[in-house]
Amino acid sequence: MSYDIYAEKIILNYEHPHNKGILKGANTHFKEYNQVCGDEIEVYIIINNKKIKDVKFIGRGCAISMASASMITDFIKGKSIKEIEQYNGDIIKNILGIDPGPVRMKCATLSLRAIKEAIERYKIKK
Ligand code: FES
């Protein structure tokens, strides 16, 4: 795919985000802030049999952070929590299809950090 197609995909996910909202029955959630700009994303997750059964998010942020949240929440459904614990910025670059660069990486990984922390909280409760 060309760079333009990836950029278009990011804009589409920003304007029409998937999995937006509060998830009823979530058994873990976490709100993460981007320390640089103060934007925030809160994720709600249902974990069942050590896998992501469902996930939604709320919050505000720039196009990269919102598009990334939309795409990563689609991506992790059905994945095991063990697998997600290994994810880092590289998975976000793959999902977005571009390297957002060092400054925008904090925006791009905001939702992933929230997801990983929510999983951590879930494990502590168990
Ligand atoms: Fe705030 Fe990107 S500028 S999350």
> Does residue 52 line the site of ligand 1, with CB under 6 A?
no
> Does residue 37 line the site of ligand 1, with CB under 6 A?
yes
**Which two structure tokens, joined as six digits, stand for 105?**
């990486």
Domains (range + CATH), the chain: 3-125 (3.90.1010.10)
Q: pLDDT category, 1, cuts 50, 70, 90?
A: low
* Other beta carbons less than 10 A from residue 38's beta carbon: 9
| Per-residue pLDDT reduced to its tens digit, 67-103 | 999 999 999 999 999 999 999 999 999 999 999 999 8
Distance (Å, rounded) from C-alpha 44 to C-alpha 116? 11
Q: Apex CA 18: angle with CA 16 and CA 22, to 5°?
A: 115
Output the pTM of the full model: 0.95
* Mean pLDDT, the chain, integer: 95
Residue 121 near residue 85, CB atoms below 8 Å: no
State in Å: Cα 57 to ligand 1 middle: 15
Distance (Å, rounded) from C-alpha 48 to C-alpha 37? 34
> Does residue 61 line the site of ligand 1, with CB under 6 A?
yes
> Does residue 107 line the site of ligand 1, with CB under 6 A?
yes
